[in-house]
Structure 1
Amino acid sequence: TAVAERAQRQTDGTIFVPKAVQRIFALENTLSAIGSTRRAVELPGRIIPDPDAAGYVQTAVGGRLAPPPGGFPRLGAAVKAGDVLAYVTPPVQAIDASDMRQRQGELDQQIAIVERRIARWEPLATAGAVTRTQLEEARLELKGLNDRRAALDRVRREPEALVASVSGIVADGVPVAGQIAQTNAIVFQIVDPTRLWVEAMSFDPLDSLTQASAVTAGGTTLPLAFRGAGFADRGQAIPVHFAITGDTKGIRTGQFVTAVAATGETTSGLAVPRSAVVRGSDGQAQVFDHVSAERFVPRPVRTAPLDGDRLLILAGVEPGRRIVMQGAPLLDNVR
């Protein structure tokens, strides 16, 4: 009948699941066996850029922002090291402008004097009244004065070019033409999306980390490689850095993750997928024991993290039990 083919939770807490429904749920189980493994710890963390593959574009002096010929690069745009991303024109104060005009006037006067001297000496040098050396020195003096005058003009007109320090994509920064940027203001942040790290926080010193992985909120597992741990506390915790060694597609900086790191200590228990452990109505972690062909019994367990994909059952299941490894959340929803 239709009732016989429906999964039901019995009054004693066991779950009756007909074979047809088991195939729909795609249930899989395996015999429990206790084994030894390295102890793991869970650490809260977040995604950060690789320090060697990220950089800021900052203003050395304050001024008005202007776009390069192609316009400002927008969020997500790819840039290369050395690309000009923006220009900043520092304002000229009234006292500075007055000093510069005075310097320009003095240089113009000196240039005019030297030009007239050269004009007088050129015919005299032909006649031998003035040595050729004196005439060449006057011409060199005129060239130096003109160079100083041109440099003074460039100081007033040339803006500072803001150049990309590394190659990557624009992760942050939305400048607007005409915007006034303060000194040391961050205009752009550039990140290489293929080189990302995880910064985790540990409240206990961690030594000899062998394996590590991270789990995102969506359940994606990221393989990690240990890079180092801080010596100074940050908010009563020790920062620990890992590099993501796998694919970083869909990962963004600032994203929160849970890092699972294996230590040098060993412990024993039953390794199961994280999906095999569910939370009961009382919040207790539990797994499902396949006791007969169509009966499943929830077993409260005590677990510890093992890696990004598995948990270690420390107590609650004896060896030789058939534990459901796939489909446990569906069984937990049976009423």
Structure 2
Amino acid sequence: MILPPFAFAHGGEDHGDEAKAPVSLPASGPRLELKSPDVELSGVLQDGKLTVYADRYASNEPVLNAKIEIESNGRKLQLLALKDGSYTAAADWLKQPGRYALEVSIQADDLADLLVGALEIPALQAEAHGRTWLDYAKWAAGGGAAAILLAVLFKFLRRRKGVAASALLPLFAAFLLGGHSNPGFAHGDEDHGDKPKAAPAAAAASNVPVAAQASPVRLPDGSIFAPKPVQRLLGIRTVLGESRDIALTVELNGQISADPNFSGRVQSSQSGRIAAPGGGFPAIGMKVSKGQILAYIEPAASSIEKGNQQAQLAELASNLGLAEQRAERLEQLVGSLPQKEIDAARAEAASLKARKAAVAGSLFQREALRTPVSGVISKAGVVAGQVVEAREVLFEIVDPARLWVEAVAYDTALSGQVAGASAMTAGNQPLALAFIGLSHQLREQALPMQFAVKPPSPPLSVGQPVKVFVQNRQTTRGIPVPQGSVMKNSGGETIVWLHASAERFVPHRVKAQRVDGQTFAILEGLHDGDRVVTQGAALLSQIR
């Protein structure tokens, strides 16, 4: 029995002495996925424990506090609801390999559904190309036979006592020992070095890499695998795409302005010096009421003007004294003089008294500056003793709840085509607008347009720039999605994330057009029924 050495070799292995670093993969079991138009169920079987997550199919919202029962081959499982929104039950009978037909019933406050599917439990695979006891028995028998043959041959050669025979003995022994050396097996995905290797983790019964089954990961095709616990942590929400007629939109530049019916200015009607009221000057942001005194103006006059007024006042005082004395004398002659002379004297005295009061008031009386409307002080630039000129704006009052937006349109065809409008601030805060009017006179080659801000609105400031989206009466066909659904990929392309399956999300290139401050219209790239991620899309894009 002279046997040649055996050698078996195939690719994908490392036979060096340097050991590879073991890959740490989380253990996971077979996964379950069932869906209906209302509900989507996903679950994982691990160590005889079945954990299930129930979500709304359209919105991906968790179905909480539901009653879920699973039936398979006459066995029933009543799942227990946990605080984290999942459902679990022990299922030792699912440890056996095979295909299990399942019927899942789910009942909640506003939901009742029955889902049918199957769970595949794969069989454990034995190690390929392993050496068995039969292999070692064969080599032991062959080695023993070679040793016996070598002993018989050695005894026979000693009897011959020939030089040539003695020289052939070592060569023949070497040949026999070499022919019965152990065969070599080389096979893939193994390391034959000296360092021990980590035991491989259990593979999942799906086409998703095992490493992706415990944490979110980006797959080679660019899609994202996100387990249900991760989806709930990120707050992933979706909406079903539905085509509809959408009004075409024109984007304009605009700014916040005050409503002229609920705003006002306080100006000085004459030159003078500012004096504070009893409660002091109002500050910016202070609420004021209509008719409230904000400041006083002390008229400013030259020395000559003051001297003339004082001389006129003295002359009026003298004439008033004479007129009063004359009226008193005539009153004593009642019956002797006509009554009309007495009445004329009284009227002359009263007229002189009024003229004296008017001239005296012009010298020392202050002018009160009052608010024309109720609102909030938006501008205040006065100090005590400040000298101001006539028509100078001293205070401005606005009503923060009554604001307008003024925009300019460079397309004259927009006139008469406005169907609606909205706006967006620099901080991405949406504004609902009501169209007021459009000018038919160009101003710097543009048409001014005015809109009223509908309540409720975020805090705004007069002069604040905004983006205005004007919807005209022309329409196009598209799928509306929220602003948070539309993203940009690394190549600058517009994409949305589609919920392809229970735990898989796929980026999809689309052609989008903004409809208003909160909505985009997907013109190309989507179909009715596609589940578009509306919340958490930015977080999905960050998964690597």
Instruction: Establish whether TM, by shorter chain, passes 0.5.
Output: yes
Contact 1:288 1:299 in 2 (8 A): yes
Distance in 1, matches of 2:240 and 2:344, equals 99
Give the corresponding residue for 2:270.
Answer: 61
- Alignment partner for residue 147 of structure 1, among 354, 357, 360? 354
Map 1:107-146 to 2 at 5 A.
107-118=316-327, 121=330, 125=333, 128=336, 131-146=338-353
Cα displacement string for residues 281-317 of structure 1 (whole angstroms, at most 9, x for unaligned residues):
3433221233344443322322112123210011233
User: Which residue type is aligned with residue 193 of structure 1?
Assistant: P
Residue identity matched to 2:397: I
1:283 to 1:99, Cα distance in 2 relative to 1, 3 A: farther
State the shift of 1:203 in Å. 1.9
Residues 173-192 of structure 1 correspond to what in structure 2 (within 5 A)? 173-192=380-399
Task: Give how far 1:11 is off.
Answer: 5.0
Which amino acid counterpart does residue 441 of structure 2 have in structure 1? A
Distance of 1:119 and 1:127 partners within structure 2? 14
Q: 2:463 aligns with which of 231, 254, 265?
A: 254
Counterpart contact for 2:323–2:345, Cα < 8 Å = yes
Aligned equivalents of 2:485, 2:454: Cα separation in 1: 27
Q: What secondary structure is seen at the aligned counterpart in 1 of 2:382? A: coil
Instruction: Report the Cα offset of residue 132 of structure 1.
Output: 4.6
- Partner of 2:168 in structure 1? none
Which structure 2 residues correspond to residues 246-285 of structure 1 after superposition, within 5 A? 246-248=455-457, 250-285=459-494
**RMSD of aligned alpha carbons:** 2.5
Q: Aligned-pair distance for 1:211?
A: 2.4
Gaps of at least 5 residues in structure 2 are 1-24, 27-210
Name the SS of the counterpart of 1:141 in structure 2: helix
CA distance in 1, matches of 2:532, 2:347: 93
The equivalent residue for 2:301 is: 92
Matched residue, 1:41: 250
| Inter-partner Cα distance in structure 2 for 1:44 and 1:308 | 13
In the TM superposition, what are the counterparts of 1:1-335 in structure 2 within 5 Å? 1=25, 3-4=211-212, 5-118=214-327, 121=330, 125=333, 128=336, 131-205=338-412, 206=414, 207-248=416-457, 250-335=459-544
Identify unmatched segments of 5+ residues in structure 1. none
3-state SS of paired residue (1:153): helix
Separation in structure 2 between the aligned mates of residue 292 and residue 13 of structure 1, nearest angstrom: 15
Query: Partner of 2:435: helix, strand, or coil?
Result: strand
Which whole-Å CA distance do the structure 1 matches of 2:499 and 2:323 have between them?
Answer: 104
SS at match of 1:254: coil
Q: Distance in 1 between matches of 2:325 and 2:243?
A: 102
Q: TM-score, normalised by structure 1?
A: 0.88
* Amino acid paired to 1:246: P
Tell me how far 1:110 sits from its aligned partner.
2.4
The amino acid across from 1:178 in the alignment is: G
Does 1 or 2 have the higher relative contact order (CA < 8 Å, sep 6+)? 1
**Cα–Cα, structure 1 residues 272 and 181, in superposed 2: closer, same or farther, change >3 Å?**
same
SS in 1 for 2:463: coil
What is the distance in 1 between the residues matched to 2:283 and 2:261? 22
Partner amino acid, structure 2, of 1:272: V
Q: Do the aligned partners of 1:74 and 1:174 also contact (CA within 8 Å) in 2?
A: no
Q: How much has 1:242 moved relative to structure 2? A: 1.3
Structure 1 residue 127, shift from structure 2 partner:
9.0
- What is the CA-CA distance between 1:272 and the residue it aligns to? 0.6
Distance 1:79 1:29 in 2: 47
Shift of 1:85: 1.9
User: Taking structure 1 as reference, are residues 134 and 302 closer, same or farther at Cα in structure 2, changes over 3 Å only?
Assistant: same
- State how many pairs are aligned: 333
| Residue identity opposite 1:92 in structure 2 | A
Counterpart contact for 1:75–1:174, Cα < 8 Å: no
Q: Following TM superposition, by how much is the alpha carbon of 1:190 offset from its aligned partner in structure 2, in angstroms?
A: 1.2
Q: TM-score, normalised by structure 2?
A: 0.56
Quote the offset at 1:266 in angstroms: 0.8
- TM-superposition CA deviations, 1:223-266 (whole Å, max 9, x none): 22111112233343322111122213533333332222221001
Structure 1: which amino acid aligns with 2:378? A
Preserved contact between residue 257 and residue 406 of structure 2 (Cα < 8 Å): yes
1:95-153 Cα distance to aligned partner (Å, 9 max, x none) = 32232123223323423443454466565x2694x555434322321221121111100
**C-alpha displacement at 1:57, in angstroms?**
1.1
Do the aligned partners of 1:213 and 1:259 also contact (CA within 8 Å) in 2?
yes
Amino acid at match of 2:472: T
Residue in 1 that maps onto 2:39: none
The one-letter code sitting in structure 2 at the alignment partner of 1:279 is K
Contact conserved, 1:193 with 1:248, CA < 8 A, in 2? no
Give the direction of change, closer, same or farther, for the CA distance of 1:228–1:126 in structure 2 (3 Å limit): closer
User: Which string of whole-angstrom CA distances, capped at 9 and with x for unpartnered residues, describes residues 76-96 of structure 1?
Assistant: 322222222221112012332
**AA aligned opposite 1:328:** A
Contact 1:222 1:244 in 2 (8 A): yes
1:67–1:248 Cα change, 3 Å = farther
8 Å Cα contact 1:196-1:248 kept in structure 2: no
SS of the equivalent of 2:377 reads strand
1:35-88 C-alpha deviation (Å, 9 max, x unpaired): 222112222222222211111111111211122223222223222222222211
8 Å contact 2:423–2:466 — kept in the other structure? yes
- Offset at 1:268? 0.8
- Asked if the contact 2:401/2:455 (under 8 Å) is kept, the reply is no
Amino acid at match of 1:236: Q
* Equivalent pair of 1:212/1:223 in contact (CA under 8 Å): yes
Query: After alignment, is 234-243 or 189-198 more displaced?
Result: 234-243
